[in-house]
Structure 1
Amino acid sequence: MPGFERQVGIAEFSNARVRVIDLETGGNGPNDVCEIGWQDVIADEDGGWQVTDERGALLINPGRLISPDTMAVHHILDADVADAPYWKQVASRILRPAGRIDALAAHRASFEQRYCTPRFTGGTPWICTWKCAMRVWPELPRFSNQMLRYQRMPQGLNHETGLPAHRAMPDAYVTAHHLRDLLNRESLENLLAWSNEPGLLPRVPSGPDRGKGWDRLSDTTLREFIHDRDVEIWFSAQTELTRRGDPDQPQLSEPVQRTLL
Structure 2
Amino acid sequence: MPSPSIIRVIDLETTGSAPPQHGVLEIGWQDVALGADGRWEIYGEGGSRMVNPGRPVPPITQAIHHILDEQVADAPYWIDVARPVLDPYPRRLALAAHRADFEEQFCTPTLTHGADWICTWKCALRLWPDSPSFSNQVLRYWRKPEGLDHERGLPAHRAFPDAYVTAHHLRDMLNEASVAQLIEWSNQPGLLPRVRYGPDRGKEWSEIAEDSLAGFLTDRDPDVRFTAETELARRRGGGAVGRANLQGLLL
Taking structure 2 as the reference length, the TM-score comes to: 0.90
**Within the alignment, does 1:190 sit opposite 2:189 as a pair?**
no
**Within the alignment, does 1:84 sit opposite 2:75 as a pair?**
yes
2:144 is matched with 153
Aligned-partner Cα distance in 2 for 1:121–1:59: 18
What amino acid is the match of 1:24? Answer: E
What amino acid is the match of 1:26? Answer: T
Which has the higher mean CA deviation after the structures are superposed, 145-154 or 217-226? 217-226
Aligned-partner Cα distance in 1 for 2:4–2:232: 40
Aligned-partner Cα distance in 2 for 1:137–1:226: 24
What amino acid is the match of 2:198? Answer: G
The 5 Å alignment of 1:39-188 reads 39-188=30-179
SS in 2 for 1:35: strand
SS in 2 for 1:102: strand
Aligned-partner Cα distance in 2 for 1:223–1:17: 42
SS in 2 for 1:173: helix
Q: How many residues in Structure 1 have an aligned counterpart in Structure 2? A: 234
Aligned-partner Cα distance in 2 for 1:79–1:168: 18
Aligned-partner Cα distance in 2 for 1:68–1:246: 52
SS in 2 for 1:105: strand
Large movers: runs of 4+ above 4 Å: none
Aligned-partner Cα distance in 1 for 2:133–2:74: 39
2:14 is matched with 25
Query: C-alpha deviations, 1:122-167, integer Å up to 9, x for none?
Result: 1100000000001000011100000000001100000111011100
The 5 Å alignment of 1:182-261 reads 182-245=173-236
2:4 is matched with 15
Aligned-partner Cα distance in 2 for 1:244–1:29: 40
Aligned-partner Cα distance in 2 for 1:115–1:94: 13
What amino acid is the match of 1:29? Answer: P
2:241 is matched with none
RMSD (Å) for aligned C-alpha atoms: 1.4
Question: What is the CA distance between 1:46 and its match in structure 2?
Answer: 2.2
Q: 1:36 aligns with which of 27, 32, 46?
A: 27
CA contact (8 A) 2:11 2:160 kept: yes
SS in 2 for 1:127: strand
Question: What is the CA distance between 1:220 and its match in structure 2?
Answer: 2.2
2:244 is matched with none
Taking structure 1 as the reference length, the TM-score comes to: 0.87
Which has the higher mean CA deviation after the structures are superposed, 121-130 or 211-220? 211-220
Aligned-partner Cα distance in 2 for 1:110–1:129: 11
What amino acid is the match of 2:10? Answer: I
Aligned-partner Cα distance in 1 for 2:5–2:193: 30
Query: C-alpha deviations, 1:196-233, integer Å up to 9, x for none?
Result: 00000000001111001000012222122111110010
Question: What is the CA distance between 1:29 and its match in structure 2?
Answer: 3.2
Aligned-partner Cα distance in 2 for 1:108–1:165: 15
1:253 is matched with none
For structure 2, the residue ranges without an aligned partner over 5 or more in a row are 239-251
Aligned-partner Cα distance in 2 for 1:182–1:105: 12
